[in-house]
A and B are shown apart, each in its own frame.
Chain A
């Protein structure tokens, strides 16, 4: 497992009031994202445990774009990754942000 950790300042605070949300499944090419409302609303942390080694640069880019574009402020995010592609990672993160904001089940 490769472990990566990012702390970013988040321009958009997460919506809703749910304490936590989880999306996705750890499988080949897939990942789970656990989001917990646990930080100051202008901060977001992302911790990743991934089976695919050597993709730190891509993770950093995906996470930075996510925090810049979506409502991620105040979230402590933990990811278990089964070697998902960046598009899948971005999609799950966005689904997680939507879920914790309470827009959809």
Chain B
């Protein structure tokens, strides 16, 4: 689905969302009244210091406004911008700042919902979609840490061997299903059903135990050990405290 189609589906009555320099900014109405802030990345744009700072500024302005409205974050990005300038100026701080702003917004009563509708990778993915409290995706979305040919170079394994291994486990190969299995992506929306309804349902989904991605990863088989290890560490530390 294109961004325009998605926005039309989310906001059948119209919206005030625009795209400039690859960044999505604006808002749309909720069916029951109120609004949804829309912030995100479009057109497969890499996320650099400038974009991250602009998005974080918007998030902080929303928190300051105190309107309690949710933040929807549609993402179709490349990875973080790989450049000497970005690293020179401290890209890690800019990306972390954006992630912290999103988590602060959630804590301040603005439910955050990531919507992966295209590509995303690495630092850009972590600082945006993965920093929202709920992450959903549309079919056709393609998250990746590193593409298989690059991975083949780094691991010194042939592409054939890697492709074979990718069939055996969801743990390393790019692709939407694999990220669903690790628990990173909570649900995949059905493009045949009204998107507005699905957004409301996703926003309503509660998180009783906080971050449940490792539990989902265990249930879905993509991360067999993470949840148990995290629990065991916490229990051992608490038991001795």
Do A and B contact each other directly (Cβ–Cβ < 8 Å)?
Answer: no
